[in-house]
Amino acid sequence: MHFNFLTMDKILVVDDDVDILTLVQMTLSMNGFDVEAVSHWQNIDHSIVHFNPDLILLDVSLGGADGREICKKIKSTKETEHIPVILFSANIEMEKSVHACNAQAFISKPYELPKLLQTIRYNIDESKSA
Amino acid sequence: MQVFTSVLVLTIFFLAFIITDIRQYKERKVSSMKTLAHVIGLNSVSALEFRDNEAAKDMLLSLKDNSPEVVHAEITDKDGKPFASYTRPGIPNVNTPGVVSGENVQLTGEQLFVSDNIINSNNEQLGKVSLEVGLSELEETKKAKYRLAAVLLLIALGFSFVIAVVVQAYISKRLLYLINNMNEAGKTGNYNIRIADEGKDEIGTLMKVFNKLMQQVTESQQRKDEFIGIASHELKTPLTSIKGYLDLLNVVEEKQPNKQFVQKSLDSVQKLESLIKDLLDVSKIQSGQLQLNITQFDINALIDETIASMQMISASHRISRENDPGPLLVSADRQRIEQVLINILSNAIKYSPGENKVVVSTKNTGAELVIKVRDYGIGIAAEELTDIFERFYRTKDSSVHISGFGLGLYICRDIMQRHKGKIWVEREEKGSSFYFALPINKQ
């Protein structure tokens, strides 16, 4: 598969589980996205600045941090508030928090690949047309 | 009950008291009349010895003012002949059997007869004096006493009733309050309630113990919820990896039997996912946490979509819909209703392994939409018709091995109950018909 790096959408994936992180990175890469993977939540800010993602897939239970709080911060900072955030969690109750922390969507673990891709696609398109 | 016993005791006590009192009164009366008779006798000695009737009569007349209860008095001489007599004014001169032989005292219901021998200093009997005493005073006193007793009894009754009611209310009120709270907790599954009770008695202690118990239960529930949160997270995380990498492998691997190995693994992953989800749902139901997310949607469209997606994964069976009505809007939790439909459809397929069709039909009764799923499989034994909706129940029919925890129908029933709907099953000649009814709001 050949992708034009200039037109590929960029996704920042954050998850403290290395296996899942690698899996998602590989899966999204194979589906035409430029992916940066972060396992330590402290590196998120650096990544956002330097990688400039079009969407962030953010795990909620980040071992030492709550993804929802991080989402709130991203969404309340001027420079980053435009980036769509999808919450990612094994706990389906987290879906209820989407609105409260200003995230755009929720994907549960384990995920259905078509649904994951569709949700990412949709939210990137939405934010670009806004 | 307590009021009744108190009143009974009081009544007995009062009666005993009155009866004793009356008896004592009678005895006193008899005694005083005997004394009177004796005194009259003594005073008549000289009158009798000197055969002075007038003197005796005058003396007897003094009875009018001194002893008004004496109705009749008579002095007879030693031969028994009347010597002097007295009748109280106003009394008709009835010839009463003045002296009854032998008896000095005779007390009938109405009258008292007292007589005494008149004896002089030489111990010779000069005659007899007999008195007839009216007992109307006694009757009056008796009546007065009974009246008084009745009044006192009523007052006592009133008092004890009031006190009993107040005490009862005080105790009952607190106990009822406790009972209501207990019922509430049991019904809602919310054990995080505490009762305020200032009482220093046994009931106060009961309340304190209840509060402690509630606290233990809520803590236990919290620990259970935390555990479920952790467990589901821990179980689902490696499952995510397994599923994800198998998906990738499925894409990358084109050779057989490799691809088939991958597919079979994916099937099992799917089952595992489903089981964990069911377990989680049941746990939420148990702790009263399952909540509905109500939206308005077209249920007929949902049915069609669900049949279509189920059809994609069931190669063995053909799922068809008998009728095809137009759109119907309902207010319900779409995801949960879909869950019920998927569960019943997959059961229909699971329990008809040798067959190849499942038929879905709907009926709009106006008040509700009844959805029927018919399978032509192994059917359900009559005695199991309600059991199958119980938690962890799996059929005893061993003709087919069925996987799963036995939670699906339990969850479906809970979902339907939360929607104020119904779910039930009927036996068919071959197979079963599952029905579930969803209320339709008339708007």
- pTM (two decimals): 0.57
Q: How far is B313 from chain A (nearest CA, A)?
A: 15
Distance, CA of B270 to CA of B239 (rounded, Å): 10
Q: Look at residues B9, B75, B3, B1 and name the one whose alpha carbon lies nearest to residue B43.
A: B75
Residues facing B413 on adjacent strands = none
Q: Do B248 and A20 touch (CB under 8 A)?
A: no
Give the tokens for residue B334.
């779409």
Out of B229, B248, B273, the one facing A110 most closely (by C-beta) is B273
Question: Using a CB-CB distance cutoff of 8 angstroms, which residues of chain A are in contact with residue B313?
Answer: none
Give the tokens for residue B292.
């509905």
Residues 221-260 of B with CB under 8 A from A: 229, 232-233, 236-241, 243-245, 247-248, 251
Q: Do A111 and B240 touch (CB under 8 A)?
A: yes
pLDDT average per 10 residues of sequence, chain B (443 residues): 75 86 85 87 85 85 82 84 83 57 68 80 82 79 83 82 82 86 78 80 88 89 75 87 94 91 93 86 77 90 93 89 89 93 92 89 92 92 86 74 79 92 93 93 61
8 Å CB contact between B131 and B70: yes
8 Å CB contact between B280 and B234: no
8 Å CB contact between B142 and B26: no
Task: Let me know if residue A108 belongs to a domain.
Answer: yes
Q: Do B229 and A91 touch (CB under 8 A)?
A: yes
Out of A27, A90, A109, the one facing B248 most closely (by C-beta) is A27
pLDDT at position B2: 67
Question: Using a CB-CB distance cutoff of 8 angstroms, which residues of chain B are in contact with residue A23?
Answer: 240-241, 244-245, 248
Q: How far is A72 from chain B (nearest CA, A)?
A: 23
Please count the other Cβ atoms lying within 10 Å of the Cβ belonging to residue B82. Answer: 12
C-alpha neighbours within 13 Å on the C-beta side of residue A58? 35
Residues facing B109 on adjacent strands = none
Distance, CA of B409 to CA of B386 (rounded, Å): 10
Domain CATH code at residue A112? 3.40.50.2300
Q: Which of B233, B241, B269, B273 to substitute to test the interface with A, most A CBs within 10 Å?
A: B241
Report ipTM (2 d.p.): 0.90
Task: Let me know if residue A29 belongs to a domain.
Answer: yes
Question: Using a CB-CB distance cutoff of 8 angstroms, which residues of chain A are in contact with residue B244?
Answer: 20, 23-24, 27, 110-111, 113
Give the tokens for residue B324.
């095809």
Q: How far is B301 from chain A (nearest CA, A)?
A: 20
**Number of domains into which chain A is organized:** 1
Distance, CA of A92 to CA of A110 (rounded, Å): 10
A39-76 tens-digit pLDDT: 999 999 999 999 999 999 999 999 889 999 999 999 99
The amino acid present at B270, given as its one-letter code, is Q
8 Å CB contact between B146 and B15: no
Distance, CA of B297 to CA of B180 (rounded, Å): 39
Domain that holds residue A115: 10-129
Name every residue in A having a CB less than 8 A away from some CB of B.
17, 19-20, 23-24, 26-27, 30, 61, 90-91, 109-111, 113
Q: Walk me through the domains of chain B, giving residue ranges and CATH numbers.
A: 2-143 (3.30.450.20), 202-286 (1.10.287), 295-439 (3.30.565.10)
Chain B: residue whose CA lies nearest to A95: B293
Interface check B158 vs A, CB under 8 A: no
8 Å CB contact between B267 and B243: no
What is the H or E stretch that residue B214 is in?
helix B202-252
Out of A19, A61, A91, the one facing B241 most closely (by C-beta) is A19
Task: Let me know if residue A56 belongs to a domain.
Answer: yes
Residues 269-288 of B with CB under 8 A from A: 269, 273
pLDDT at position A3: 59
Question: Using a CB-CB distance cutoff of 8 angstroms, which residues of chain A are in contact with residue B232?
Answer: 90-91
Burial classification of residue B387, based on how many CB atoms lie within 10 Å of its CB (0-12 exposed, 13-18 middle, 19 or more buried): middle
The amino acid present at B35, given as its one-letter code, is T
Out of A27, A61, A90, the one facing B244 most closely (by C-beta) is A27
Task: Let me know if residue A1 belongs to a domain.
Answer: no
Q: How far is B245 from chain A (nearest CA, A)?
A: 7
Task: Let me know if residue A81 belongs to a domain.
Answer: yes
The amino acid present at B80, given as its one-letter code, is G
Q: Do A23 and B241 touch (CB under 8 A)?
A: yes
Q: Do A109 and B237 touch (CB under 8 A)?
A: yes
Q: For chains A and B, what is the number of CB pairs under 8 angstroms?
A: 44
Give the tokens for residue A62.
């980040």
Q: What is the distance of C-alpha B310 from the center of its chain?
A: 52
Task: Let me know if residue A2 belongs to a domain.
Answer: no
Question: Using a CB-CB distance cutoff of 8 angstroms, which residues of chain A are in contact with residue B248?
Answer: 23, 26-27, 30
Task: Let me know if residue A82 belongs to a domain.
Answer: yes
Q: How far is B229 from chain A (nearest CA, A)?
A: 7
* Mean of pLDDT values over A9-19: 95
DSSP B39: H
8 Å CB contact between B39 and B66: no
A76-89 tens-digit pLDDT: 999 999 999 999 99
Out of A90, A91, A113, the one facing B247 most closely (by C-beta) is A113
Task: Let me know if residue A74 belongs to a domain.
Answer: yes
Q: How far is B441 from chain A (nearest CA, A)?
A: 26
Give the tokens for residue B252.
């990358």
SS3 B361: strand
Q: Name residues whose C-beta falls within 8 Å of residue B329's C-beta, 6 or more positions apart in sequence.
A: B296, B297, B298, B299
For the range B287-294, what are the long-range contacts, defined as Cβ-Cβ under 8 Å and sequence gap of 24 or more?
Answer: B287/B189, B287/B221, B287/B224, B287/B225, B288/B188, B288/B189, B288/B190, B289/B189, B289/B225, B290/B414, B290/B415, B290/B418, B292/B332, B292/B333, B292/B336, B292/B418, B292/B419, B293/B333, B293/B334, B293/B335, B293/B336, B294/B331, B294/B332, B294/B333
SS3 A8: coil
Q: Do B240 and A20 touch (CB under 8 A)?
A: yes
B292: left (phi over 0), alpha (psi -120 to 50) or beta: beta
